[in-house]
Amino acid sequence: MKVIICGAGQVGASISRHLALEDNDITVIDTSTELAQRMDESHDVRGMVGYASHPDVLAQAGARDADMLIAVTHSDEVNMVACEVAHSVFNIPLRIARIRKQAYLQPEWSSMFSAQHLAISVVISPEVEIAHSIARRLRSPGAFEMVPLADGKVHLIGVHCTNSSPLLNTPLRRLTEMFPDVRAAVLAVFRDGTGFVPKGNDMLRLGDDVHLVCRTADIVRVVALFGHSEAPARRLVIAGGGNVGFNLAKIVERHMHGISIKMIEGNAERAELISRSLRSSTVVLNGDALDHEILDEAQVGRAETIVAVTNDDETNVFTSLLAKRAGCGRAITLLNKTSYAPIVAGLGMDVVVNPAAVTVSSILRHVRRGRVAAVQTIGDNFGEVVEAEALETSRAVSGPIGSIGLPAGMIVGALVRGGEVIIPTSQTVIEPHDRVIVMATADLVRKVEKLFAVGLEFF
């Protein structure tokens, strides 16, 4: 399949890595010679220098026979025009655009993206996606990742192994024996920065970051089994009143009752606008999130959670550290620079949210079409968790899971059948129309299609 990616930043580079592993023909366009050369040198893709919205540049990139265009440059306007040119001049079937400015995303202007106008197939708003991602984490304070699957019947969660977990140093195959009423399966483990797909004899160790799938009704108990007993947020401080912070506050106001919000915003005009737009019970403070007096006024020491989502990584990290030192129970920190992640991990950050990873997962949900309902990336290009419907033509429904030849690096984590959540064993038989939750390392994602006939085809 032929794909053109406009923009070689973090998101564009990450998407190109995912798709290049599946033997697709990828061309990445960027105005930066350095970034384009980096794509040529470090990925199995073609890098091109140019303006992604120019027809001649798109033509050179192979737009005449391209199957998809993904526009993720730093300019909303370039992304929109690139999609329009891709449609009107080259008739590229699928066109995805990242749009960040909220002025374009108001409901009254939604028709501008239709086929009759800008012809954008899918609009991705990173700030809104990030706000929802953080809100999900607020609902389960012990988890660093929380993604609903199968209409909310199952959740993919990420949790850190603490020294009070009864699961430490126990073979994973014994967990079902020890806790027979808990429906959960471990999909991936990250230890000392390296990820692996565990087998039955593998044991969890102190400090492991574990990604698992579990029945939604079991989330609280599963998190507790990893040694977490954090209190739900009732007092929330949001540092940063940009699009992420503002959208998060609106989500909490509408859907998470009983939480009091204090927001810190450095720009006086922005703070005034936010204050008028949110409920009167939400307190908006104008000041520097690194100022001790402002943090004291926000009563950060009494808050269960601080969410640091300013536009500056360093401010987010230090605000989180100051809040934790003052007595705040939990810090959720927005971090754009992935190079900071190993350092931040040792500083006591409870949850680190990477905007690029959230955006990539959102885009892949639309790229992976057919019977695929959801896609979530795991780690830095480590793998993907795919939710899909098993078809009658699938090889996976022909016998027990243990007999269908799953390669190492692929796990069937859960099935949803008639509303019931099933954690499968090697003897479980997948039936047609089951919702199947599959974990696959990045190099095996295309094999999911062959094994389960889930229609990972793009058209």
What pLDDT band is residue 21 in, cutting at 50, 70 and 90?
confident
Q: What topology is assigned to 235-357 in CATH?
A: Rossmann fold (3.40.50)
Q: Which long-range contacts (CB under 8 A, 24 or more apart) does 80-86 make?
A: 80/104, 80/118, 80/120, 81/53, 82/6, 82/52, 82/53, 82/58, 83/118, 83/119, 83/120, 83/121, 84/118, 84/119, 84/120, 85/53, 85/54, 85/55, 85/58, 86/4, 86/58, 86/119
Q: What CATH number does domain 2-124 carry, 3.40.50.720, 3.30.1490.190, 2.30.31.70, 3.40.50.10540?
A: 3.40.50.720
Residue 266: CB atoms within 10 A of its CB come to 22
Pairing of strands 122-124, 184-191: unpaired
| Phi (first) and psi of residue 372, to 5 degrees | -80, 125
Alpha helix positions (H), 140-281: 175-178, 219-225, 243-255, 268-277
Query: What's the sign of the alpha-carbon dihedral 134, 138, 142, 145?
Result: negative
pLDDT tier, 115 (very low <50, low <70, confident <90, very high otherwise): low
Does residue 383 carry a pLDDT above 60? yes
The CATH 3.30.70.1450 domain(s) of the chain lie at 130-225, 368-452
Residue type, 25: D
The confidence band for 448, taking pLDDT boundaries of 50, 70 and 90, is confident
How many secondary structure helices (H) and strands (E) does the chain include?
14, 22
* Cα distance between residue 117 and residue 33, in whole Å: 32
CATH 3.40.50.720 residue ranges in the chain?
Answer: 2-124, 235-357
Handedness of CA 217, 221, 226, 232 (dihedral sign): positive
Q: Which helix (H) or strand (E) holds 114?
A: none
In the chain, the amino acid numbered 63 is A
Class of residue 279 by CB neighbours under 10 A (exposed 0-12, middle 13-18, buried 19+): exposed
| Residue 343, amino acid | I
Tell me how crowded residue 386 is: count the other CB atoms within 10 A of its CB: 26
DSSP string, 56-111: HHHHHTTGGG-SEEEE--S-HHHHHHHHHHHHHTT--SEEEEE---GGGG-GGGGG
Sign of CA dihedral 388, 151, 158, 250: positive
> 3-class SS at 247?
helix
Q: What's residue 24's pLDDT? A: 81
CATH of domain 368-452: 3.30.70.1450
**Residue 194: phi, psi to the nearest 5?**
-115, 130
pLDDT given at position 211: 96
pLDDT digits (tens, 9 = 90+) for 323-353: 999 999 899 999 988 777 777 767 777 888 9
Asked whether the predicted pLDDT for residue 226 surpasses 70, the reply is yes
Average pLDDT over residues 352-369: 82
pLDDT at residue 125 greater than cutoff 80: yes
Determine phi and psi for 211, rounding to 5 degrees.
-105, 125
% of the chain residues with pLDDT over 70:
95
pLDDT tens digits, one per residue of 35-64 = 999 888 876 899 999 999 999 999 999 999
Q: Is the pLDDT of residue 371 over 70?
A: no
* Helix %, strand %, coil % of the chain (to 5): 35, 25, 35
Helix (H) or strand (E) holding 238: strand 235-239
Residues with Cβ < 8 Å from 294, sequence gap 6 or more?
264, 285, 287, 288
Which single residue is written with the structure tokens 């440059």? 73
Pairing of β 94-98 and β 260-265: unpaired
Determine the length of the chain: 459
Residue 457 pLDDT class (50, 70, 90 cuts): very low
C-beta of residue 63 within 8 angstroms of C-beta of residue 82 = no
Its sign, for the CA torsion 18, 124, 438, 251, is positive
Residue 454: per-residue pLDDT: 47
* DSSP string for residues in 432-456: TT-EEEEEEEGGGHHHHHHHH----
* Choices 3.30.70.1450, 3.30.70.20, 3.40.50.450, 3.40.50.10300: CATH for 130-225: 3.30.70.1450
Residue among 130, 154, 11 nearest 19 (CA): 11
Q: What is the pLDDT of residues 151-206, one digit of tens each?
A: 899 999 999 998 989 899 989 988 888 888 899 999 999 998 899 999 889 999 99
Report phi then psi at 284, rounded to 5.
-110, 120
Over the chain, what is the mean pLDDT?
88
